[in-house]
Amino acid sequence: MKHFEFEHEGALWTKDVPFVFGVDEAGRGCLAGPVCAAVCVWDPFKDFSQAQVEVDDSKKLSPKKREILFEKIQEEAKLFGIGFASAEEIDEWNILRATYLAIARALEVALKKQPEVLQTESAFLTDGNHYLVQKSKFFVEHPKYKKEFSLVQKLFEKEICEKPLVKGDSRSYSIASASILAKVSRDRLVINLDQQYPDYEFAKHKGYGTKLHLEKIEKFGPSIEHRKTFAPISSMSNRLL
C-alpha cells in the first residue's frame, strides 16, 4: 500500500474520530443507467500490514481485480453502504444533484447496519472538490424523499465534518474502497440491463458513450434507461422506447 493512503484517515483517528467515511461515486458520465455512490469505513485498529485488500483508484484496476477487491472490502471493512439514483431521477434533478441523492441513500444503508455511529464522532472524506455529503442534505430534508432518510436526518443534527480531496480515490484508502464498491455495484446493475435490452449491448459499454453505444442509440433510439437530458439523447427523446 502507498505510504499516504491513511494520511487523511489517520489525522482524524488521532482526534478520536472512529468512523471516517470514504465517499465516492460511479457513472456520472454515462448516457444510461443510474449513478451509484458508496461509503466505506475502516477500523483504525485493524492490522493493515496483514490486510489482503490492496485497494487503488477503481479506474486503475482491471475488472477482475475490482471484483476480487469488491468482495474483500465487504468482508473486511468496518462499515459500508451503497446507493443509487435512477436515470429518471438524474433527468429530474440533474446529474450532480442525483449524485447527492445516491450518497444520502448509501449513508442510510450504512447507518441501518450500525446506528451506533450516530452516538459517536464521524467524519467524511469525499472524492473531488465538492462537499458531497453536506449537499446531500437537500434530499434528506426534501418532502418527497425525507421518509427515506430517518437515520441520515439524525446525522445532520450535528455539524458535518467533511474534507473534499481532489483525486481522493488515489490519495485515500477509504475513498478508493468506496470507489471500488460504487464501480462494481453499478457495473453489475448495468450488465443486468443487457438482458432486458439486448439490442444495446450494455454488458460491453456499461452505459458509457462509446462508439458502439452511440451506434446502438442511433439505430434503436433511447430506451427508458437512457438519460433523456444528456446529449445526444436529448435531441431524440421523441424516439424514446
What's the predicted TM-score (pTM) here? 0.93
What do you get for the CA distance between the two ends of the chain, in Å? 47
pLDDT digits (tens, 9 = 90+) for 158-187: 999 999 999 998 899 999 999 999 999 999
Instruction: Decide: helix, strand or coil at residue 104.
Output: helix
User: To which residue does cell 459499454 refer?
Assistant: 205
CATH number attached to the domain at 7-197:
3.30.420.10
Q: Rounded to an integer, what distance in angstroms lies between the CA atom of residue 193 and that of residue 31?
A: 13
In this structure, are strands 162-165 and 122-127 parallel, antiparallel, or unpaired? parallel
- Residue 7: its pLDDT value, please? 87
Q: Rounded to an integer, what distance in angstroms lies between the CA atom of residue 129 and that of residue 126?
A: 8
Q: Which residues contact 4 (CB under 8 A, 6 or more apart)?
A: 171
pLDDT digits (tens, 9 = 90+) for 212-228: 999 999 999 999 999 99
pLDDT digits (tens, 9 = 90+) for 14-46: 999 999 999 999 999 999 999 999 999 999 887
Q: Which residues contact 17 (CB under 8 A, 6 or more apart)?
A: 121, 122, 123, 161
Instruction: Decide: helix, strand or coil at residue 106.
Output: helix
